[in-house]
Amino acid sequence: MNAEPDDLMRAIEATLFASDVPMSAADLRLHVGDGGDVPALLARLAADYAGRGINLVERGGRWHFQTAADLAHILRREKEESRRLSRAAMETLAIISYHEPVSRAEIEAIRGVQVGKGTLDVLMEAGWVRPAGRREVPGRPLTYATTPAFLTHFGLASRRDLPGIDDLRAAGLLDPVDLALESAMAGSRSDADPEADGDNPVQSVVEMDDEDA
């Protein structure tokens, strides 16, 4: 790109840039006029842009600009976003992990609220839950189970490592909702306690249906 671009070349450059379709030398002449050697200028332009991030290329007699092929990867970036599971998804995952293989109807019976289809989709997309065959009962419901990736993510050697009901009770995690509500209302744990959010039973009472992830 050393040469001083002359007006016709600038016009060709701009026209190709602004056009939404590739253009032949004849198409270009309709815009920039007849007074010059359009093919030669196209060749010069192509040489100017060789090695840059943008290239001028010819395909079947039509010219267009495109980004350099070796840079395609930066135009399509994947970005990882850390997202928290919704409460519905978390509870559903917990039920599957404790009761697997378990059907959707069974999950709903345990949760006490319906399980949206999106909730299971999120868990499967996360790679933590898989379909685990059909149960041989009327309706042949699909059952769900956890995956090895689930164990890996939660740092478990096996499902037996999950704390049992007695452990949960001892940890206060089975406290009836009303009691938990009272202590939450007492205020001491509301703001400062980082777990208060997940803990807050008011939310689980109010939120009847699951918000899908």
Partner 1 sequence: MEDLFLAAERPADPDRLTVSFDAWEGPLDLLLALARTQKVDLREISILALVEQYLDFIDGARQLKLELAADYLVMAAWLAYLKSGLLLPRDEQIDPSPEELALRLQLRLQRLQAMREAGARLMARDRLGRDVFPRGAPEGLRIGRKAAWDASLYDLIQAYGQVRARTQPAVHVVSRRAVMTLDEAIQRVEALVGSRVEWTLLARFLPEGIDAALGRSALASSFVAALELARQGKVDIRQDGIFAPLYLRAANGRAEAQT
Which stretches of the chain bind its own copies, using CB under 8 A? 1-2, 4-5, 9-15, 17-18, 30-32, 48, 51-54, 65, 67-68, 71, 74-75, 77, 79
Report the C-alpha gap between 77 and 184 in whole angstroms. Answer: 44
Q: Which does 168 bind (CB under 5 to 8 A by kind): partner 1, its own copies, none?
A: partner 1
**Rounded-to-integer distance, Cα 35 and Cα 107, Å:** 77
Q: Check residue 173 for interaction with partner 1 (CB under 8 A).
A: yes
Residue 195 lies near partner 1 (rule: CB under 8 A): yes
Stretch that binds partner 1, among 5-13, 38-46, 87-95, 136-144 (CB under 8 A): 87-95
Give the Cα separation of 66 and 107 in Å (integer). Answer: 53
Residue 193 structure tokens: 């306690």
In the complex, least distance from residue 44 CB atom to partner 1, rounded to whole angstroms: 20
Nearest residue (CB) to partner 1, 125 versus 140: 125
208 binds partner 1 (CB under 8 A): no
Beta bridge partners of 55: 66
Q: How far apart (Å, rounded) are the C-alpha atoms in residues 87 and 90?
A: 5
Residue closer to partner 1, measured from CB, 36 or 98: 98
